[in-house]
Amino acid sequence: MPTFSSVARPNTVLSIAAVLLLVALTWFLAWAIRHDAVVALAEVNRWIADAVVQRLGYAGVFLLMAVESSVVPLPSELVMPPAGDLAQRLPDWNLSGVIAVGTLGSLAGALANYWLAMAIGRPLLLLLIGRYGRFLHLSVKTYERAEAFFQRHGAISIFVGRLLPGVRHLVSIPAGLSRMNLIVFSGLTVAGAGLWNAILAYLGYWFGREPQQLSEAMKRYVHWVVAGALLLVALYVAWTWIRARRSAAGDGKAGGAG
């Protein structure tokens, strides 16, 4: 039987690696802000808006977000911010309309996942993921994490899951397998997807207006951005330490009971 120290050592190494990665990302964030990354992002966002989203129209936003809600790995960050940028530049695009259409698309994709899972069942679903999931950058392990998230948090995971990358497009599947109430599922999906889509659309709208001024403002306050990021790193360290202590205490009680 492995001792606590042998189990804790790999966890400690992983935690240190995660902290170092977060610190490196913080440094990179500060460097990017100082080198006008905001302006570059705004330019890329505008290019996607003009070259792709504008040509597809509102129907395209609906279809792309429906695909994003399915198991196909299409990031919503490539759809909603460009649509938001169009809404601030073109008279025939409206921010509320962009958010509404994108959210309806998200609901359509989520319902497709829900009904598909309910129709084929878990054994066949896992078989298909294991055999063909690599074409969609999806593994059984990735799906099982989303399934565990749903089982651990229940119905509210449908709302929260829409805000989490890696879970957003999968959490509808365990909901279908469990035959979750369809009205509750749809309402929570619309609420979570609507919030996420609104955030992305507003970011595209905001960044597209005065990216150079925004970049200069962020340069002035970059130290606050770094301080906030480092605070998040500190909170992560504290949370990891508390969780490890609780896990060790739980293992100790279980060993004593045995």
Tens of pLDDT, residues 179-195: 999 999 999 999 999 99
- pLDDT class of 5 with cuts at 50, 70, 90: very low
Angle (nearest 5°) at CA 39 between 231 and 81: 80
Buried b (16+ CB within 10 A) or exposed e, 139-157: eeeebeebbebbeeeeeeb
End-to-end CA separation in angstroms for the chain: 13
89-131 pLDDT per residue, tens: 999 999 999 999 999 999 999 999 999 999 998 888 888 888 8
In the chain, what are the domain boundaries? 10-246
Quote the tokens at residue 101: 């259409």
Out of 32-46, 57-71, 170-184, least confident range: 32-46
- The overall pTM is greater than 0.75: no
